[in-house]
Amino acid sequence: MTFVITEPCLGTCDTSCVDVCPVDCIHGPLSVEEIEQIKLDGEEAKLADIQLYIDPAICIDCGACEPECPVEAIFDEYHVPDKWSDYLDKNAAFFEE
Ligand code: SF4
Ligand code: SF4
């Protein structure tokens, strides 16, 4: 099993999930530091197309990230809402690049 980050993360990028992950398997196109700087600069619009992803090869299914997300973007792979089922592949694909 793995956990999956879905659409509500887009443009939110709160990064709370990153802080609690014991195996550091949550990453995105920008680092946490870059995201924080963008928010400090008041340039949140730059994050509109940005989200973070969970590496399914490293995730140990601990579930620690799920309750930390303020926008309820994280699901275990068996409970991803149908409308966001493509995010299973999107998360995996990010780490194949
Ligand atoms: S999944 Fe939730 S907590 Fe993690 S970066 Fe996205 S919005 Fe933030
Ligand atoms: S379930 Fe655990 S290991 Fe997997 S991404 Fe969330 S915090 Fe990390």
For 38-93, what is each residue's pLDDT tens digit?
A: 999 999 999 999 999 999 999 999 999 999 999 999 999 999 999 999 999 999 99
Tell me if 4 CB under 6 Å of ligand 1. no
Q: CATH for 3-94?
A: 3.30.70.20
- Arithmetic mean of pLDDT, 20-33: 97
Residue nearest to atom 2 of ligand 2 (CA): 62
Residue 97 confidence (pLDDT) above 90: no
Structural domain boundaries in the chain:
3-94
Radius of gyration for the chain, computed over Cα atoms and rounded to the nearest angstrom:
13
Residue type, 37: Q
Rounded distance, CA 59 to CA 1, Å?
8
Give CA separation, 22 vs 11, 38, 41, in Å.
24, 25, 29
Tell me if 52 CB under 6 Å of ligand 2. no
Q: Under a CB-based contact definition with an 8 Å cutoff, are residues 90 and 15 in contact?
A: no
- pTM for the model: 0.94
Residue nearest to atom 3 of ligand 1 (CA): 69
pLDDT at 36: 95
